[in-house]
Structures are given as C-alpha cells and as structure tokens.
Structure 1
Amino acid sequence: MAGHSKWANTKHRKAAVDAKRGKIFSRLSKDITMAAKAGGGDPDANAKLRTLLNKARAANMPADNIDRAVKKGTGELPGVVYEEFVYEGYAPNGVAVVVEVTTDNKNRAASEIRSTFTKRGGNLAGANAVAFMFNRCGQFLIAKDQTDEEKLMDVALEAGAEDIKVEDEGFEVLAPITEYDSVSQALSDAGIEVASSELAYLAETLTPIDDAAAAKSIMALIDALDDLDDVQNVFHNADFADGLLDDEE
C-alpha cells in the first residue's frame, strides 16, 4: 500500500489480511517457495528466505507448512511451478495500481485481475503504463522499540541503504534492489527485528484523494485485488487525506 504514510496504510492492510489467515499463509507459502528456489533452502545463506521465515513464524504459520514450502522450492518435494508477473492499471480517480502475481495459471490470473478492475470501476493497462510513477526498491519497516535512529543509520547505511525515514510509528529504510539482501543481513546481524520487509513499488508521483466516497471506491478495488488467490502484493499511488481510511481499519 502506498500513500503519504506507509505505516498507516500498512496497518490498514494488516487488519484486512489478518481477518483472512488462510490467505496470508498461502501468500507466505508461495513467497517462501520462490525464495528457496532462487537462493537455496538455507536461511543463513539466503537473507530473503530468512526474513520470510521470521514473518511466517510471527504470523503463527504452522511449522509443517513452512517446511513444505521450503522443500518445494529446493525440489525436495514435488510442487506446482509458479511464475511471477506484474500487472498495471488504474483505480477510480486515476489512481495508478501495480499488482504483483505469483501463479501456476497465468490465464486464470490475468482473467481474474482484468475482471476485478472492470467490476470495481478501474481498468487494466498495458506494461509500463504506470510503472514509471513508482520506484522499485527494498523497503524495511522497523518499530521504534527495536533500535534508535543513530544505530539504525550506522547499520543500514553501511550495508547499502540509500534512505532512512523517521515517522511517528517507526523507521522506514529504503535500499536499492541490489542491496536488499545485504541490508536484510545487516539488520539481522545487529539484532534489529523488522516488522515488514519487501521489494516494493513506492510511488514517486502521488494522486491526492480528499473525498471519502472516492477513497472508499479506490480501497474497494485494492482490497478486491488483494483478495485474489494469485495476488501477492498491490501497490498504488493514492495519497489519502488524514482520516479518510479510519473507517476502513
């Protein structure tokens, strides 16, 4: 979720996702399988996998599910072949949307995403239609009780992070994609627990939204996309005015 406060939007998304625990387990399982396939099944040597395993345990994902997901990625267990795709489109009020998909059936995923955009007042667009409005980078959210700003700057910047933002709720660390693993490893080595970690599309060009009805229609599309089984992440460039999402949380 993008907007003027990543933390606020993350809390909204977490409230929605936590209500559907089966979906978050499925999402984590796919992520773990893909991470193990790409970087191996040893979390000590695979920073992305280690982060995902920590996230899975924090979500109380059963250990057997985690183990199966890793082994499917390493080939120790048979599993479906997943592919990753990115779709772009527009929500109501011209809000740009980027949808990350991990699926074993591209045709099904594309059909469901197109239908969801259409039914919710948006439209699916072609490749690079809105991606230029976003910065693809590594993003880490860290609660303030985990560290202080000086220590975080020393650890993260030394590991290759390019920016650290301080908000009321915590810290946001941004890093180039090429430095994602090294920053993740450095934070782990320093004992700094990460609340959220992902390769994100962060909006550089924002669309201000100050109308409650517009906010509701935009979030209806975002949430409907997020509910789809094949969808892993949804990013957008809506900048909601303070208080507009309070009823949604």
Structure 2
Amino acid sequence: MPKTRIDSAISRGLGVSTSGAPLEPLTLEAIFHSAALVVDVMTENRLRALQDLKFILTKAGAQVTPSSYLFTRNGVILVKGDKDKVDADKVLEMALEIEGEGVREVEEEEGEEGEVLVLTDPAEITRVAGELRERVPEGVEVMSKGMEWVPNEDTMVGGLGERGEELERVVGALEEYQDVVGVYTNVREEE
C-alpha cells in the first residue's frame, strides 16, 4: 500500500483530510434490485463524493433513493476474549445492568477467541462501552465501538442468485472509494 494512502487513512481517522480541511459526514441510500444499501461517507468535498458514488451506483443499475427506513442505527460494541470467559449470557447481563439494548453472539471458529456484539442506543455507546470495560473479567476486552446500520429483521432479503454476485461487486466498488467509511445491506447471509 502506498505511503500516501496510509497517511490519508491516518488523517481521516483524526477527522481531517490530507489538506487539513475538516471532514463532513454524508449518508447515501440506494436500492439495488430488491436489496437496500446505506453508504456512510466522511469527506472534505460532499458534492464530489456524492457525484462519484452516484455514478458508481447508477452504472451498476442501482437507484439512489431512500432506504434507511429498512435499517436501525445502532451503537455496536465488540467484546472479545478467551472463549471460556466470553459468554453472551454474562455480557448480556452486564449490558442490561447498564442499559444496553441487546446482545447477539458472533459466530466462533475453532481456536479463535470468543466474540460478542453489544447493540446499544447510539447516544449511549460511549457510556455503555466505558462501563463494560470496567466490568468485564480479566482476559476479556472491549475491542471497539462504533455506529452501524443494522437491517430490520422483517425487511431482510435473500435468494438473490446471480444478482447477489452483482451486489458484491457493487459493494466492493463502493468500499474501494477512499471516502467511504461503511457499506450496509439488508441481504440475509446464505447458509
């Protein structure tokens, strides 16, 4: 990876562009066939980013239209540690004591550490993450916190077939755009 791209990523993490201009948030919504997309962007030039991202979407056959009503904005806290110490029930109990909205266990693979995601109200994410840090046992850490668009369970779609591969290409193209922070879809993972 080129040094300039690394420096740009570090600057963006600090909330400024490489030119020193402050970054502004932008959310772009679209529908690709039956799948909803929400794209979070942090950019120094909203008009340029909007134009570039709309071009990527329309070229792929997506329609730029409201779709965030199919999602819920949640604070997400990742708790990670030894498998025997990270228990979704224990984390749920701690989270409920400090007013977390819900907990769901992340799939675990053999030999890997246990992980649990705590979903919270976006306004409470810092407080809940701080209190969880104080309460988790030794060997368990609060690894990260952030905001995510979580699809509403009753509006998720699946069975896209070939369109699923097209959607993956569109999501990949959006994620490659330097100002994009996250791309969220309401597509159910195939089992």
Name the TM-score, length of structure 2 as normaliser. Answer: 0.80
Q: CA deviation at 1:157?
A: 1.8
Q: 1:136-215 counterparts in 2 under 5 A?
A: 136-143=73-80, 145=82, 147-169=86-108, 170-191=115-136, 192-204=140-152, 205-211=155-161, 213-215=162-164
Q: CA deviation at 1:163?
A: 0.6
Distance in 2 between the 1:22 and 1:95 partners?
Answer: 35
**In the alignment, which of 32, 47, 50 is matched to residue 14 of structure 2?**
32
Distance in 2 between the 1:177 and 1:189 partners?
Answer: 20
The corresponding residue for 2:31 is 90
Q: 1:22-101 counterparts in 2 under 5 A?
A: 26-27=8-9, 29-33=11-15, 79-91=20-32, 93-101=33-41
**CA distance 1:131–1:24, change in 2 (3 Å):** farther
**CA distance 1:178–1:143, change in 2 (3 Å):** same
Distance in 1 between the 2:146 and 2:95 partners?
Answer: 15
Q: CA deviation at 1:196?
A: 4.3
Secondary structure in 1 matching 2:147: strand
Q: CA deviation at 1:27?
A: 4.7
**CA distance 1:23–1:226, change in 2 (3 Å):** farther
Give the counterpart letter for 1:156 in structure 2.
Answer: A
Give the counterpart letter for 2:171 in structure 1.
Answer: I
Equivalent pair of 1:89/1:123 in contact (CA under 8 Å): yes
Q: What are the ranges of 5 or more consecutive residues in structure 1 without an aligned counterpart? A: 1-18, 35-68, 73-77, 243-249
Identity %: 25
Instruction: Indicate the structure with greater strand content.
Output: 2
The corresponding residue for 2:178 is 229
Distance in 1 between the 2:100 and 2:6 partners?
Answer: 28
- Whether 1:103 and 2:37 are equivalent positions in the alignment is no
Distance in 1 between the 2:4 and 2:128 partners?
Answer: 30
Equivalent pair of 2:36/2:186 in contact (CA under 8 Å): yes
Distance in 2 between the 1:134 and 1:33 partners?
Answer: 26
Between 1:201-210 and 1:162-171, the stretch displaced more is 162-171
**Paired positions, count:** 178
Distance in 1 between the 2:55 and 2:62 partners?
Answer: 10
Distance in 2 between the 1:220 and 1:84 partners?
Answer: 24
Instruction: Indicate the structure with greater helix content.
Output: 1
Give the counterpart letter for 1:131 in structure 2.
Answer: S
